[in-house]
């Protein structure tokens, strides 16, 4: 699966926001005793991991196509 540049940028922005959101929810749930805090945080963390895997796969495929199947050096 390869995303367009716009799709990739939007998903990356969402992924970057999810982890801090999970930490924020965790803190509020602990401080205020909010219900389902652990479940919400676990769901956000799982979503973050899934988006990261999708973005990584798309990025790898993009570079493989751009380099003509050449190996991509990791920074």
* Predicted pLDDT of residue 52: 94
Measured between alpha carbons, how far is 70 from 73 in angstroms, rounded to an integer? 9
* Predicted pLDDT of residue 16: 94
Per-residue pLDDT of the chain (75 residues; tens, 9 = 90+): 789 999 999 999 999 999 999 999 999 999 999 999 999 999 999 999 999 999 999 999 888 888 875 555 555
Backbone dihedral angles phi then psi of residue 7, each to the nearest 5 degrees: -60, -45
Measured between alpha carbons, how far is 31 from 2 in angstroms, rounded to an integer? 41
Query: Is the pTM of the predicted complex or chain greater than 0.85?
Result: no
Region of residue 68 (left: phi > 0; alpha: psi -120 to 50; beta: else): left
* Predicted pLDDT of residue 67: 80
Measured between alpha carbons, how far is 10 from 32 in angstroms, rounded to an integer? 32
């Amino acid at each position: 699966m390869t995303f367009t540049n716009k799709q990739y940028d939007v998903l990356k922005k969402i992924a970057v926001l999810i982890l801090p959101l999970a930490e924020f929810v965790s803190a509020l749930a602990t401080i205020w005793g909010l219900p389902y805090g652990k479940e919400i945080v676990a769901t956000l963390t799982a979503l973050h991991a899934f988006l990261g895997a999708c973005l990584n796969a798309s990025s790898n495929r993009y570079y493989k196509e751009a380099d003509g199947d050449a190996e991509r050096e990791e920074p």
